[in-house]
Amino acid sequence: ELFSIIRTVSHYKTIVSHYERTISYYQMTVSHYRGLFPIIRFQLTVSYYKTIVSHYERTISHYQMTVSHYRGTVFCYQRTVSHYKTKVSHYERTISHYQMTVSHYRGTVFYYQRTVSHYKIPVSHYQRTVSYYQRVVSHYERTVSHMRCYLPPS
């Protein structure tokens, strides 16, 4: 739309220039014409087209300022987007780090659970062995105690 307005302004400027040259021509050759009517008519036409040109120039200026404003706004939003992308990237890396840490500790926990499970078997075996020998010792202590009863007094 801006390009169309600029083209229209250029067109009207050409028309204004044409009419100004025509006025100049009429002013130089006024003696060949009856009265000043053609000059006045062309001056009014020039004034009319100058008004149109001025309107379109103001419109162009308005659109240029609007474009400038939106370019600034776009730049501001691009910077904000970039800022948040950096934050997102940071948090994604942090999440990845914590996920790897969790995975590492899960592996460590699994390893220790397996080790504990491995050692529980011999512990259980040795506890049963200890219990067995405690019963044997208890049996022999009772036997010794019983046999003392049959020994002559010393």
- pLDDT the model gives residue 149: 79
- pLDDT the model gives residue 42: 76
Distance of CA 8 to the CA centre of its chain: 42
Residue with tokens 């149109």: 52
Distance between CA 68 and CA 62 in Å, rounded? 10
List the chain domain ranges: 2-149
Residue from 44, 80, 62, 50 nearest 5 by CA: 62
**pLDDT tens, residue by residue, 81-117:** 999 999 999 999 999 999 999 999 999 999 999 999 8
- Read off the DSSP letter of residue 152: P
Q: pTM above 0.85?
A: no
- pLDDT the model gives residue 35: 52
- pLDDT the model gives residue 126: 92
**pLDDT tens, residue by residue, 19-69:** 888 888 877 776 565 555 666 777 888 889 899 889 989 998 999 999 999
Question: Which whole number is the average pLDDT over 123-152?
Answer: 89
- pLDDT-derived band at 154 (thresholds 50, 70, 90) equals low
